[in-house]
Structure 1
Amino acid sequence: MLLSPGRYQAVFFDVGDTLMYIPAAQAVICRHLAEKALVREEEEVGQLFQQAFRQFYVDRELNPEECCSPESDRQFWTGVYRFMLDELGAGGEWAEEEIHHCCHELYEMFTSPANYRLFDDVVETLEALRERGFRLGVVSNFSPTLKDILQDKGILHYFDPVIVSTEVGLEKPNPAIFRLALAEAGLEASEVLYVGDHDLNDLWAPRQIGMDAVKILRYDYMTGEGFTGLQELLK
């Protein structure tokens, strides 16, 4: 049992692909591009999105000391979208200004609440954890719109603290962002269990300060030890 009585005082969570996700992101992108007369197949767009995310984020060597800001978050994601548009041949049909504008439109779309969905097990698990007396928090690499998204999805009130990378100038895998979360919560590392989906950001980083961490495997392609649903925290 992960949350045996008396072992932890709090459970902190990652957000993206842990608590919420964007269903059929490639379809959202395709529709937006088609509205601009750039028609491409969903499969190709989906493959390029995965390639870009892996190349720019998953497989790159992350610098724990790198600073984070709203500007750096926007720069990262517009870079991902620019890579995709280049691979899709947008330069042969659009002017540079239109490509630039489209990248920023996509960023706005994917940092607003409309396209996000909670996983089915989120609300019942948060409610059950709170009823059992656990304090809940969030530590997330995200744009400054995260609190608005959590509010829109009806779960912001469960969490205190809510530590957002672009608001505090630190981002995972820098262990300092977890120290900040503990300081705001007034808790010791040994009193908190962290739940996330990324080996470096959500397992390695919190463990550097003595916080226990477990991995949630939301998708079939994910590897390693962990569990597939938040309900397993309650067993």
Structure 2
Amino acid sequence: MSRFDAITFDFWDTLVRADVAATRVQRRLAIAEVLESHGLPAEHDEIDASFDEAWKRFDASWGLGEQFTGHHAAETVLEVLGHTDDEQVCIRVIDAYLSAPRTMELDLTENLESTLRVLKGAGLRVGIVCDVGLTPSPVLRDYLEGHGILQLFDHWSFSDEVGVYKPDAAIFEHALAGLGGIDPTRAAHIGDLRRTDIAGAKGMGMLALRYRGVTDDDPDHGPEGDVVIDDHAEVPAVLGV
């Protein structure tokens, strides 16, 4: 019998493969269409420059643990492009920025669904602890629903809903409470990033699994996981199920 009652998963590059370039293209096209419909210049180079500034601000805020959401990013785009005075333009650009990723088809990581079903079959509670980046959590849930696996999760803790980023203990506490008040020592967390996933899980006293099936995080970025895996199929054995 496993000594674990629950496991939480990171989202980007742990559950779902991120496609930053494709997301950027979708957003650029959507925003250009809005601007053109209002008779405004829609140079792709200028839109890309506004995206660069939004990402720069996000990355700085994320590192400091200060919330910077997709809505903030869209406001930055408007600021850089100089279109903050027209309310309708602002509303439509913000909506385009936030909703454009919905049209994308992103891949699950290898052996994820089968692993989730094994864990659920063994009686473990399964959750998500995710720093959403610049894509709102409803869109992330839609991705999982589209792949038919949303129902395999008992609870989710997204940074734009909880209000903090990993490695803050509050987002892990939110997850463990939502999974039924799980003792951290009887829970595991799996994710790809040392600074957020591994440091946060270790700080809680959870078993920290670093997943390198998509990316192999730089050792300088934080502590190593208690266990390092390359394939989700390894998880049940690690947890003793």
The answer, yes or no, to whether TM exceeds 0.5 is: yes
* Superposed CA offset, 1:196-235 (max 9, x none): 1222221112221211212222445633453333223245
Bigger drift between 139-148 and 52-61 goes to 52-61
Partner residue of 2:10? 14
SS at match of 2:98: helix
> Unaligned regions of 5+ residues in structure 2, if any?
none
How far residue 175 of structure 1 moved from its aligned partner, in angstroms, is: 0.5
Over 3 Å counting, the alpha-carbon distance change for 1:95 and 1:148 in structure 2 is closer
Structure 2 residue 111 is matched with structure 1 residue 121: yes
Partner residue of 2:194? 199
| Aligned residues: CA RMSD | 3.5
Kindly indicate whether the alpha-carbon contact (under 8 Å) linking 1:195 and 1:215 is maintained by their aligned counterparts in 2.
yes
* Superposed CA offset, 1:159-199 (max 9, x none): 11222233333432321121122223221111111011222
Q: Determine the C-alpha separation between the residues in 2 that align with 1:52 and 1:18.
A: 24
Bigger drift between 219-228 and 158-167 goes to 219-228
Identity across the alignment (%) = 25
Kindly indicate whether the alpha-carbon contact (under 8 Å) linking 1:113 and 1:149 is maintained by their aligned counterparts in 2.
no
Over 3 Å counting, the alpha-carbon distance change for 1:48 and 1:34 in structure 2 is closer
Structure 2 residue 182 is matched with structure 1 residue 187: yes
* Count of residues in Structure 1 that have an aligned counterpart in Structure 2: 214
Q: Determine the C-alpha separation between the residues in 2 that align with 1:193 and 1:31.
A: 40
Structure 2 residue 213 is matched with structure 1 residue 222: no
Structure 2 residue 159 is matched with structure 1 residue 157: no
Partner residue of 2:58? 56
Calculate the TM-score normalised by the size of structure 1.
0.70
> Unaligned regions of 5+ residues in structure 1, if any?
none
Over 3 Å counting, the alpha-carbon distance change for 1:227 and 1:113 in structure 2 is farther
1:230 maps to a residue whose letter is: H
Q: Determine the C-alpha separation between the residues in 2 that align with 1:234 and 1:54.
A: 38
How far residue 115 of structure 1 moved from its aligned partner, in angstroms, is: 4.2
Q: Determine the C-alpha separation between the residues in 1 that align with 2:17 and 2:104.
A: 11
Calculate the TM-score normalised by the size of structure 2.
0.69
Structure-to-structure mapping, 1:122-137, within 5 angstroms: 122-137=112-127
2:172 maps to a residue whose letter is: F
